[in-house]
A and B are shown apart, each in its own frame.
Chain A
Amino acid sequence: MSSRLESALRKHKPAFIPYLMAGDPDLETTEAVAHAVRACGAAALELGVPYGDPLADGPTIAAAGQRALERGTRMCDVLALASRLRDAIPIVLFTYYNLVHAYGLELFAQDAVRSGVAGAIVPDVTLEELDDVQPIFEKHGLAMPLLVAPTTPAQRAGTIARRASGFVYVVSRLGVTGASAAPNVDALRGQIAGLREATRLPLAVGFGISTRKHVEAVAPFADAFIVGSALIDAYSGTSGADAVRRVELLAYELLGSSFRGG
């Protein structure tokens, strides 16, 4: 599974990885938007699992998760959505550890892979806790992309890169997810150069990527870029075809003409 994910991320440089909160505003809209972003050229899809206490997320994604929870969206719904989308696009879940723990670590890995999920990002499981989680994901063939932050010392970043699978998620700035001012390009470039020495995995930049300018700034050195909050902002308050149109507009803006219809 991870090899399909990796090769999908290598088709375009930089590859576009949209993040959608499953079930916001409803599962049908998430599915329609997923097909739309794929048609716009997305290489893989990050699917957020709604959680009430998302420590790594800013207000946009936290609120989207809250809306999805209010609609009753559960892990099993997200897995069912993934299995409907599996042939269209490689899927990576973005979930917090308590949801995986409650589902059962082993069962989660098994069911995710059965649903066609390629990988799962668990942002609150870092090197310190990895040994209890990653071997089980690995056993079932579920990739585990790991995050590297601007505060991560170089040696630790190297270890993270060597232990990650699918891709390495390079956090572009301090703080939580959310649309923001431009990423710190110089620092990012340096960090990515260091990571290249540790791994051949694709390096995906995320947190705060929200405009074409941001994409152009990271394009020279990143293999992929992740856009979440800006997409959610673009269609919040809408659903169905209206949401799809808004997402397409933003995707075209982010990707520029070269990707159109990709």
Chain B
Amino acid sequence: MRASAQPDRRGYFGAFGGRFVPEVLAFALDELESAVDAAFADDAFWSDFHGLLCSYVGRPSPVYRARRFERCAPVVVKREDLNHTGSHKINNTLGQALLARRMGKERLIAETGAGQHGVATATVGAKFGFPVDVYMGARDVERQEPNVALMRMLGARVHSVTSGTQTLKDATNEAFRVWAAEVERTFYVIGSVVGAHPYPYMVREFQRVIGDEARRQCLEEHGRLPSDVVACVGGGSNAIGIFTAFLGDDVRLWGVEAAGKGTQSGETAASLSAGSIGVLHGSRSYLLQTADGQVCETHSVSAGLDYPGVGPEHAYLKESGRATYVSVRDDEALTAFHDFAAAEGIVPALESAHALAFARTLSRERNSSDLVLVNLSGRGDKDLAYVRGLSSGA
């Protein structure tokens, strides 16, 4: 019951995706693929999932018109920030936890950068009674202390990863290694549309609820489809989540990457805009790498976008021209962060602020009869201390 023709049987979206992992994980991915196929064909699975999205996550999340933030074309935001745990991440962790339970797995592991996915995994771990181990780069553990405390309060063990650059990339490496060692009883909850097949496909199917709802809401509440859909892209799960429902429509899709200090500055996280094709964490996609194929250190003001790779389906949407990828610098995202809070009384996550910055530009260029839909993927409480530190010059 695949919702669309992509990916193919080998997990390829066009030339991107696939399965590049050590042999020890091949069996686990086969096992997961079979479980995904069976679960996705089972109405009872979806009924459990959608029931919990309603009663536990608080879906459907509203679509809200940002009248004071918009310029010419109306800007409506999909309020994923109102979900339980404060971002879209919970849609995916809930789905994967249901699968893990179905498969009889005994514990969950996860990687996390900013801590949003770690918190969302710790949350479903508590809810379903799974022990949870979260791997987090040592530098992120320092930068994101409140989320570390939250994960621990939810009963998860947080492991500080000190190898390599000590950020999300290395936390992901470590999670893969731990999975390889305890693959039979452990379920690896990947937080984005990245990784080896079937992860990018599976995560998309759990996140597509965002776009399915938003499409219906635009039609019902605004009487038309949006002219443009805008979402920030790190690994790319919130963007795929909102894009998928619109793939067959005459709607422009915009992925907004984190330019950091500029795509040519060497301090960026814009894999599609500034990277090249390579293989990282199990799939072929765009990544920020040296000419030798060593993966680069990245930079973004937003920890959730600070990742050198990007989901393979985004690489495919870029190459096929179906979606367009642009980038927004740190300073532009920070301006949008402050402006959106002041104009609408909603503090967006710094990740989502990248999408808002670009959406405001679009709103200026589009007609008042157009409609710009933005995925407000998360709330910004987690970023307050960091942003205040920046404004005080610390």
Contact = CB atoms under 8 A, between A and B. Distances in A.
Interface string B269-283: 000000001111110
Interface string A97-116: 11111110000000000000
Interface in A70-87: 74-75
Nearest to A132: B18
A93 interface: no
A66 B164 contact: yes
A102 B24 contact: no
A56 B22 contact: yes
A98 B177 contact: no
Given A102-B292, A176-B177, A151 B24 contact: yes
B18 A128 contact: yes
B219 interface: no
Contacts of A103: 292-293
Contacts of B385: none
A58 interface: yes
B184 interface: yes
Nearest to A74: B292
A52 B164 contact: yes
Contact of A175 (B10, B24, B291, B295): B24
A55 B21 contact: yes
B278 A102 contact: yes
A21 B4 CA distance: 44
B163 A160 contact: no
Nearest to A58: B177
B103 interface: no
A69 interface: yes
A151 B184 contact: yes
Interface stretch (A24-32, A118-126, A241-249): A118-126
A171 B27 CA distance: 14
A63 interface: yes
Nearest to A123: B22
Given A66-B164, A101-B293, A102-B292, A151 B26 contact: yes
B177 A175 contact: yes
Interface in A11-40: none
A54 B277 CA distance: 18
Q: Which of B18, B20, B163, B277 has the most A CB atoms < 10 Å from its CB?
A: B20
B85 interface: no
Interface string A125-147: 11111000000000000000011
A227 interface: no
A62 interface: yes
A128 B19 contact: yes
B23 A101 contact: no
Contacts of A101: 277-279, 293
Interface string B32-45: 00000000000000
B138 to A, nearest CB: 14
B279 A98 contact: yes
Contact of A75 (B19, B22, B170, B292): B292
Given A126-B20, A129-B20, A151-B184, 19 more contacts: A51-B294, A54-B173, A55-B173, A62-B163, A62-B164, A98-B278, A101-B293, A102-B289, A102-B293, A123-B22, A123-B23, A124-B279, A126-B23, A146-B23, A149-B27, A151-B23, A151-B28, A156-B26, A174-B184
Interface of A: 51-56, 58-59, 62-63, 66, 69, 74-75, 97-103, 123-129, 146-153, 156, 160, 171, 174-176
30 contacts: A52-B295, A53-B164, A53-B173, A53-B280, A55-B180, A66-B164, A97-B279, A98-B289, A98-B295, A101-B277, A101-B279, A102-B289, A102-B293, A103-B292, A123-B22, A125-B20, A129-B18, A146-B23, A147-B22, A149-B23, A149-B27, A151-B25, A156-B27, A160-B23, A171-B23, A174-B24, A174-B180, A174-B181, A175-B182, A176-B181
The 9 closest A-B pairs by CB, nearest first: A102-B293, A175-B181, A149-B24, A151-B27, A56-B22, A147-B23, A149-B23, A124-B20, A98-B293
